[in-house]
Amino acid sequence: MKKHIYVINFNGGSGQNKKLYQFGSVKNIALYIGKNKASIRYESGALKEQEDFITFRIKLFRDAYRKVHLLHALIYNTGLKVDRIAIIIDGAAKEYDKSCPSFPFLYSMIKPKDLGLGGAWKDLIPETLTVAKSVMDKDLRFVSAFYFLMAKSKDYETERFSNLWTAMNAYYSYVALCYEKMLRAELGAGENEKLHSALTLHGDYQMIGALCWLIGGKYRSYGKEDTDRLWRRHCVENALGHCEEPQVQKLYEAAVEEASGAELPAEYADLASCAEEIGVSLFGLLLLVYPYHWRCDLFHGNRTPVLFLACTDHELTMLHVINYFLERFLNESIPKMFKEDFFTEAEYEKVKQYMRLITPDKGGKNKFDKYFESTKR
């Protein structure tokens, strides 16, 4: 059977970073990624027309185009801005540019700006090539990564927060799933068997609580009513004040050190008092508990959105602090989700310890232990 050769060049095409992958029965699809340019090259026995590409009747092209954008962001730390595309079929070329309707046909939300990704993000490249789109779209690791990339392409703090918090939601949900995978293995339970000792059954509050416990060794089973009361009483906004960038960075690093056992500097006494009364570390407060309060306040549809915001409004300062914490933590943590040792046996035992804390004793025995023993095979 005759093989037809297909080449798609973006901004002139080619690049020194060559990646091979397979889509369905088509093997050795070559992606060449250069700085603000790329190429797709493959061979197939099926003859296609130009129209098949630009209307995405060829699913392979859509998949490869998507990978080109992702790989460019991971390799060069910036989005790919497509100014022209050349589609070459068996040597016959046709070029498309901004004068063509619907150009560039597939739209990327990743802006051509410095994304500030850590070097470990390159570790996502192998799975970016091998994981099918249908699987990737439901994989919480990629959910977290995609929302993070969306956030890095936004300018306003409210937009950044919306995407950063969704990335965090996927992150702590993935931690919960890792725990439950180990739990099922230990109990000998089936994949679809309902477990009362599963973390996801307890909702966002307790998944957040489990992550607070993992990163700071402190615990609180709390709800939004608690956080509303405590924000008014302790005036977190006043304690944070008008933090400039160096102050926010210093606060983040102090909070991380406190979560690891160090003492907080005296200047953070008011914030430490609020965190202590809620029952979490300062890092847990500013990374998870306080942002969750904002998430409830902004996304439940019971108040107007932040459509207008003055440069002196305290919301701007608060969201800037929150976004700094979320962005820095997720930038460092999302690539770790793709490592085999992301969730360790020691962390599994710590979450089990946390589950004992949130399930009170019943009949002289902890409720979690009763569930655990009744389910174990």
| β-pair partners for 93 | 88
How many angstroms separate the Cα of 84 from the Cα of each of 11, 80, 101, 254, 369? 5, 12, 13, 48, 62
Q: What is the pLDDT along the chain (377 residues), one digit of tens a residue?
A: 789 999 999 999 988 899 999 999 999 999 999 999 999 999 999 999 999 999 999 999 999 999 999 999 999 999 999 999 999 999 999 999 999 999 999 999 999 999 999 999 999 999 999 998 889 999 999 999 999 999 999 999 999 999 999 999 999 999 999 999 999 888 888 777 777 777 776 678 889 989 999 998 776 554 555 555 555 444 577 777 667 778 899 999 999 999 988 999 998 888 888 888 778 899 998 999 889 888 888 887 777 777 777 777 777 888 889 999 999 999 999 999 999 999 999 999 999 988 887 777 666 667 777 777 777 66
DSSP classification of residue 7: E
| β-pair partners for 39 | 9, 32
pTM score, whole prediction: 0.91
Q: How many CB atoms lie within 10 A of CB 7?
A: 19
Note whether 321 and 243 are within 8 A (CB): yes
